[in-house]
Amino acid sequence: MICLSRLAPFAALLAALPLAALAQTEGESAVPAYLDDRSTPEQVVTSMYNAINRQEYLRAHSYYDPGTAPEWPAFREGYQDTASVRLRTGEIITEGAAGTTHSAVPVAIEASRADGTTEVFAGCYRLTQVQPAAQETPPFRGIQIDSGTLEPAEAAFDDAMGSCDL
């Protein structure tokens, strides 16, 4: 027979292990969990910033339409001193025509640099989805970013938001 009172100290230790594994030392930032969700315009933008936060710049670039994507070297270099980015999205505007859906996603981001400084930007991402049933030849084209604009914001992150139109 096992005496449960003798196991109590070990149970507390075992329960604390997952928390200890998640603890961060001062100055160390956690790498966010991998997110690659291309199911909605908002999730495409969110996934792009997840890639940026994980310093996976090629994956971040892959959310753009290849025909309108920013030049790869300039895109990658634009994030050289970025430590992390917080993202907020606003109300999405969507309209469709002839088997294609166009969306505009207003955003606010707070970019933290490696030196500890932060800057807030506001802007808009425009995305396109060719209806899946209308696509007949490879490669399949999911929701892709056509363009994005960001400008320095005067407001704090919680008050900033880009504006969009289609």
Q: Express each pLDDT in 2-38 by its tens digit.
A: 333 333 333 333 333 333 333 333 444 589 999 999 9
- Say if strands 118-130 and 100-113 run parallel, antiparallel, or are unpaired: antiparallel
Do 93 and 31 meet the contact criterion of CB atoms below 8 Å apart?
no
Higher pLDDT, 18 or 66: 66
Domains in the chain (CATH in brackets) are 36-152 (3.10.450.50)
CA angle (105 as vertex; 126, 113 as ends), nearest 5: 95
- pLDDT score of 109: 98
Predicted TM-score (pTM) of this structure: 0.81
Measured between alpha carbons, how far is 60 from 87 in angstroms, rounded to an integer? Answer: 14
**Residue 61 in this model has a pLDDT that exceeds 50:** yes
